A and B are shown apart, each in its own frame.
Chain A
């Protein structure tokens, strides 16, 4: 059953120096209870994609076209009041820097209680119980309830942010690079929290630059390049038999502590999204590019149970 379905989404930033096509025709479906990861490098548009789901794209950006259907409501067209209700109650969001969502002047306990009071319909003693339960779910001891954000470590702050984002038991949790600022040991414990949430039926959308991180935890992976999803498929397929040349090269470039010691990289640089290359956006860096790749943008097609946008794999060739 699909929970979130995005169709031909376009999100552009209208800057003084030109239009940045950060998300340019993205379609994807996230099922109930699924862990879906969007992997992309800096400037690929992955964070914009995440923010657009809850209508938090900062100006001068806006959703230009497309549908974001969540639980049968098109959030791209919904009135502000509906989006506000969905945000928080039905979709939780975790940012890279937990301080984005925490108030430095109040104890973390009072902040989670406020969320429950505003959205949750509980009161008094009940609020306290729900809030403390949420803290223990993310592995925070009770005494932390009375701490101010600055008294906590980066990992503990992110746990608080996750507790707040999930205390109302949303159906979907979106996490944008939630562990990029944290050390690897803490990163793993944060992933374990997401895993527990998922095992209780919550869908997870993890946005990350780290293919290895995504591959350890996700059911499916979407690979994003220059504003487009180039390949979507089950995690093991993407890692073990990538179809799109970009995915193939990205897998090879990802250092692996257990793998070969080879130094692989992709020549060239990701394009400027104000002025993306013609045709397939990966063609200037692609070792297999041909004339058609320069001329025409490939359409997403289904290949071996995956969705891939590449002329090399199109059935007409």
Chain B
């Protein structure tokens, strides 16, 4: 396994008002609340969840943009939560992240080619002329053709899709082993979305890049993921191969998500799982199974928290998994 998370927790303190300060006691949002997962070399794990599920926080933990409150993140055998200094820097090159909004991560005043070349130079990986050649090749690989023209463009001269290609080129120029892609296609038009997925798949097959692909969209997760993990309120509720999870979801939450996704096919309305609407207070999530106030199958048992239990190749955290 290249990346392993072991019972990782990350809580964020909530801003206290004056009253809160007087009364004392910090309140926390449990963004990631005891997550374990692993990603193999060359594997793509699609992490699916709605807004507020904690999926982006988990992504940031895995590349050490933030550190967990407890638990371990193990990268290629080393617990990165404890790494510092030169050892950390060396590992950083091997893990990268791309975000939903590429504009936010690009320097608006610098030619895109120079931005990428700089990375190679900073890491002393190439001479200037060799670096440029590498970058031209990379721009071509992410579909920015002719690359010689794109090299000299500034971010504002590019479309959203082209900027995301630049962000990917920049993240992958060092040939990292692991990439976290946080909603990389959510802002892009559907007509170009698949071209970005295509690029990620190409790099994976070319040199066994491992990817954590974070998305709110199960149909995108199915297109790119070897496996899918579904997250709800800080916890993974189901995990398995992409085909299994979509074709035969075990958790009522996964089924409700699948049933809600609009489809261009005419579909017979087979028993759709409908969740009740319920405003979740992230500081005070429901006790027991966090879905129980919304779940049509909830019983008294669900007041006890279900464990993520393995069945062969898949796991589910539910007292009443679907058959």
Contacts and interface: CB of A to CB of B under 8 A. Distances in A.
A196 interface: no
Contact of A253 (B50, B191, B275): B191
Interface in B117-157: none
Interface residues of A, number: 41
A41 B262 contact: no
Interface in A252-292: 253-259, 261, 263-267, 269-270
A152 B193 CA distance: 32
A236 B266 contact: yes
A266 B159 CA distance: 15
Nearest to B259: A188
Nearest to B258: A257
A254 B191 CA distance: 8
B194 A265 contact: yes
Given A213-B262, A236-B266, A251-B264, A264 B223 contact: no
Nearest to B278: A153
Contact of A263 (B194, B257, B266, B267): B194
A261 B190 contact: no
Contacts of B257: 184-185
B256 interface: yes
A184 B264 contact: no
Contact of B264 (A183, A188, A215): A215
Contact of B197 (A41, A189, A256, A263): A263
Interface stretch (B33-41, B212-220, B312-320): B212-220
Given A183-B51, A186-B277, A250-B191, A258 B267 contact: yes
Chain B interface category by residue count:
35 or more
Contacts of A209: 189-190
Contact of B190 (A41, A183, A258): A41
Nearest to A185: B260
A155 interface: yes
Contacts of A42: 160, 189
Nearest to A267: B195
Interface string B34-69: 000000000000000011000000000000000000
Contacts of B50: 183-185
A130 to B, nearest CB: 24
B198 interface: yes
Contacts of B218: 257
A143 to B, nearest CB: 12
Given A187-B260, A212-B262, A216-B262, A266 B191 contact: yes
A262 to B, nearest CB: 8
B222 A257 contact: yes
A249 B190 CA distance: 10
Contacts of A153: 277, 279
Contacts of A210: 190, 262
Contacts of B159: 269
B264 A239 contact: yes
B1 interface: no
Contacts of A257: 218-219, 222, 246, 258, 261, 263
B176 interface: no
A134 interface: no
A231 to B, nearest CB: 15
Contacts, number: 111
A210 B261 CA distance: 11
A189 B262 CA distance: 12
Interface in A164-217: 183-189, 209-213, 215-216
A155 to B, nearest CB: 7
Contacts of A258: 263, 265, 267
- Majority SS of interface residues in chain B? helix
Q: Which of B193, B256, B261 has the most CB of A within 10 A?
A: B261
Contacts of B189: 41-42, 209, 270
B192 interface: yes
A263 B225 CA distance: 13
Given A250-B190, A256-B219, A270-B189, A185 B275 contact: yes
B161 interface: yes
A258 B161 CA distance: 26
B81 interface: no
Given A153-B279, A186-B277, A259 B264 contact: yes
B164 interface: no
Nearest to B196: A265
A101 B195 CA distance: 37
B166 to A, nearest CB: 14
Contacts of A184: 50, 216-217, 257, 260-262
Contacts of B223: 255, 261, 263
Nearest to A40: B189
B211 to A, nearest CB: 15
Q: Which of B159, B161, B256, B263 has the most CB of A within 10 A?
A: B263
Nearest to B195: A265
Contacts of A239: 264
B162 interface: yes
15 contacts: A184-B50, A184-B217, A184-B262, A185-B256, A187-B260, A236-B266, A251-B264, A253-B191, A253-B193, A257-B246, A257-B258, A263-B201, A265-B193, A265-B195, A265-B198
Interface of A: 41-42, 139, 152-153, 155-156, 183-189, 209-213, 215-216, 236, 239, 249-251, 253-259, 261, 263-267, 269-270
6 shortest A-B CB distances, which residue pairs? A41-B189, A265-B194, A266-B191, A263-B194, A212-B262, A183-B50
